[in-house]
Amino acid sequence: MNNLNLQDIKGSYDAVFSLGSACNPALQFQRLNLKRFTSSPLDWSYSPYLSDVNRLLKNNFKGFMELKNMRVVNDKGDSIYANYANDGAIIVPHKGIHAPPKSYVIQDTLYNIFSAHDFPIIVNQSWLVTYPSFKKTLNYRIYRFLEKVKNSQSVLFVRWVANYHEAVELQSTLSQMTKGCFNILILNPVEELQEISEVNWELDRVCAVNVPDDPNSNSTWDYVLKGVTLTN
């Protein structure tokens, strides 16, 4: 087994993709100029378990966010995740309004993945009104993601929170989906941890690290992604 460490992760990639669990990796990719094209399907969703993401990837996103599998789990907009955003940018409805509009939290019950930024709460309007445009955008992101994964020479996949067995399954799944080389970087938050430490899972193509439990820490992301760039 050729376990990867952070030194091995450094390098240039055709694409860098977030596999969740929330939007934090995608936001950091934006900050560090590691996003070149449209968002991937999981950038702005919440996927608490990598096992569900693995199943989604195995199925090539079949049935993902189909209306028959979706249900409202929060219609108050009081979740810490529930602000409407457009491709990672907070939407301000008109000049003078500084607080972002709240958003419904919608669960895809087939894959246990949640949308928390896609359906703005508008008075006297159902969340279903914006579903057609959401689904059109999502389908495009899925298409671009699958094409990039299949045809790129090198891809880095990044996941916040995963266990060993989920990582084994992810490595196997991505091996079937890719033609080129790929690496997987997994960040596992540990309460009260002060320094980042590498974990030897003895898995090919997988680098796992324990990190402080703040997913928004720029210093953590700067450290683990130092030396990661996009190809020209």
Confidence band of 131 (pLDDT split at 50, 70, 90): very high
Helix axes 50-58, 164-177, angle to 10 degrees: 20
Within-domain flag for 203:
yes
CA atoms within 13 A of residue 16's CA, in its CB half-sphere: 25
| Per-residue pLDDT tens digits for 176-200 | 999 999 999 999 999 999 999 999 9
Within-domain flag for 1:
no
Cβ(206)–Cβ(186) below 8 Å: yes
Domain, as residue range, for 144: 6-230
The tokens describing 219, both together, are 């210093």
Within-domain flag for 200:
yes
The amino acid present at 85, given as its one-letter code, is A
Into how many domains does the chain fold? 1
Confidence band of 37 (pLDDT split at 50, 70, 90): confident
| Per-residue pLDDT tens digits for 84-99 | 666 554 443 444 444 5
Chain centre to alpha carbon of residue 28: 11
Cβ(118)–Cβ(89) below 8 Å: no
Within-domain flag for 120:
yes
Measured CA to CA, the distance from residue 52 to residue 55 in angstroms comes to: 5
Measured CA to CA, the distance from residue 209 to residue 193 in angstroms comes to: 12
Cβ(41)–Cβ(19) below 8 Å: no
Cβ(212)–Cβ(18) below 8 Å: no
pLDDT (0 to 100) of residue 3: 77
Cβ(230)–Cβ(210) below 8 Å: no
| Per-residue pLDDT tens digits for 43-89 | 999 999 999 999 999 999 999 999 999 999 987 777 655 666 665 54
Burial class (CB in 10 A: 0-12, 13-18, 19+), 116: buried
Measured CA to CA, the distance from residue 200 to residue 133 in angstroms comes to: 43
Tell whether the model's pLDDT for residue 39 goes beyond 80. Answer: yes
Instruction: Look up tokens 């990582």; give the residue.
Output: 167
The tokens describing 38, both together, are 């449209």
Q: Which residues are within 8 A (CB) of 14 and not within 5 positions of it... i.e. 6 or more apart?
A: 148, 152, 153, 154, 155, 180, 230, 231
pTM of the model: 0.91
Q: Which residues are within 8 A (CB) of 93 and not within 5 positions of it... i.e. 6 or more apart?
A: 101
